[in-house]
Amino acid sequence: MSVTTAYVKRAFKYRFHPTDAQAAELSRTFGCVRKVYNLALAARTEAWARQERINYNATSAMLTAWKKTEELAYLNDVSSVPLQQTLRHLQNAFTHFFGKRSQYPRFKSRKKSRKSAEYTTSGFRFREGKLTLAKMTEPLDLVWSRPLPEGATPSTVTVSQDAAGRWFVSMLCEDPTVQPLPAADAAVGIDVGLDHLLTLSTGEKITNPRHERRDRTRLAKAQRALAKKGRGDGANRRKARIRVAKIYARIADRRRDLLHKLTTRLVRENQTLVIEDLTVRNMVKNHTLARAISDAGWSEFRSMLEYKAAWYGREVIAVDRFFPSSRLCSACGTLQKKMPLHVRTWTCDCGTVHDRDVNAAKNLLAAGLAVSVCGAGVRPQRSSPGGRSATKQKPPRREP
């Protein structure tokens, strides 16, 4: 009996430079994808108001009927594959909504929504390293920043254009190179912060590069220039908007690059990684710290850490956000009543001098290991009733 190996599905993203004809074709496709999505969402919303449900098959039949009308005949000019895919995406959105995992789907805006189109195997040809999409005669001019895994064949291809005008193609492939790493003896507690991006239970502190602050002057100047341009879709306003978008893209690229390097290193070196279960969405409501928290990328850091741990056979444990990691002495277990944010070092009654962040990382590690070993939660010590316990977080299946 042959045994089939289940490989990790991984997306490989590349820049490409389309010709004028390819750019025009893709722009038409993006517009048609958005139009079909909005039409199907409107139909499903009206049916919902009538207490009826419409599934993917019904919207697919509607798409066939829309193409036969004079008003929507232009839908026949683009490939039908991305149009069918956007209906599947809408079906998934409703599945998540009915499963109470997301909010009700929203309509796509022409100016604000992401420009993208997804092609399945029937909508593209990939041969000898050349990718040709449906309705196109020439392959895309890809910038091969890294090779695909040997023998890998894309199952889906997603083409997108960001706000800065850059074109990208993302190819989803099975990656045989992603295998569980040999078991390691090390475990680490990780405390995120603003003065230092990460503080480890080993005492190591990783500096917060503050990417947005480094480009704040250039960004403010570009935003002022954009604000002075008139309303509408004029050429000057479009150029000013792209200048702002390029600065934001530069900031995001640097942040993502650093987080990838940090998370890969932590996952390779440690078997167990313990973090704090922070609600970043609520924390950014603090207008004093919102900009700095967003620039630190805590949510993106956790997401990367979890899916890479799932890839390489590591364990990520999230300790309850109410666990008093900063106020608890890691040496004797004494709980301090108060610990204002400006207090960075403090001395316990037992005589131990603590660095606030290192002490928090050590306490997170101890709490996480208690969860991992005994399977029971660590009850947070706080005065208010109804405290929750530390829980192990199962990493989701994820493609980067």
Catalytic residues: 191, 276, 357
Which among 173, 169, 121 is positioned nearest to 152, based on CA atoms?
173
Residue 249, Cβ neighbours under 10 Å: how many? 16
Q: Name the phi and psi angles at 94, rounded to 5.
A: -70, -35
Non-local (6+) Cβ contacts of 9 within 8 A are 155, 172, 173, 174, 175, 399
Would you say 296 and 197 are in contact if contact means Cβ atoms under 8 Å apart? yes
**d(C-alpha 221, C-alpha 232), whole Å:** 21
**d(C-alpha 274, C-alpha 272), whole Å:** 7
Would you say 340 and 179 are in contact if contact means Cβ atoms under 8 Å apart? no
The SS3 call for residue 46 is helix
Non-local (6+) Cβ contacts of 115 within 8 A are 27, 30, 160, 161, 162
Which among 293, 315, 297 is positioned nearest to 306, based on CA atoms?
315
Q: Would you mind telling me the total number of residues written for the chain in this entry?
A: 400
Which among 334, 337, 326, 390 is positioned nearest to 363, based on CA atoms?
326
Would you say 368 and 274 are in contact if contact means Cβ atoms under 8 Å apart? yes
Task: For Cα atoms 295, 114, 254, give the angle at the middle one, nearest 5 degrees.
Answer: 30
Would you say 305 and 273 are in contact if contact means Cβ atoms under 8 Å apart? yes
Q: Which residues pair with 207 in a beta bridge?
A: 196
| Beta-strand relationship, 156-161 and 142-143 | unpaired
For residue 356, give the amino acid letter: R
Residue 279, Cβ neighbours under 10 Å: how many? 10
**d(C-alpha 271, C-alpha 309), whole Å:** 9
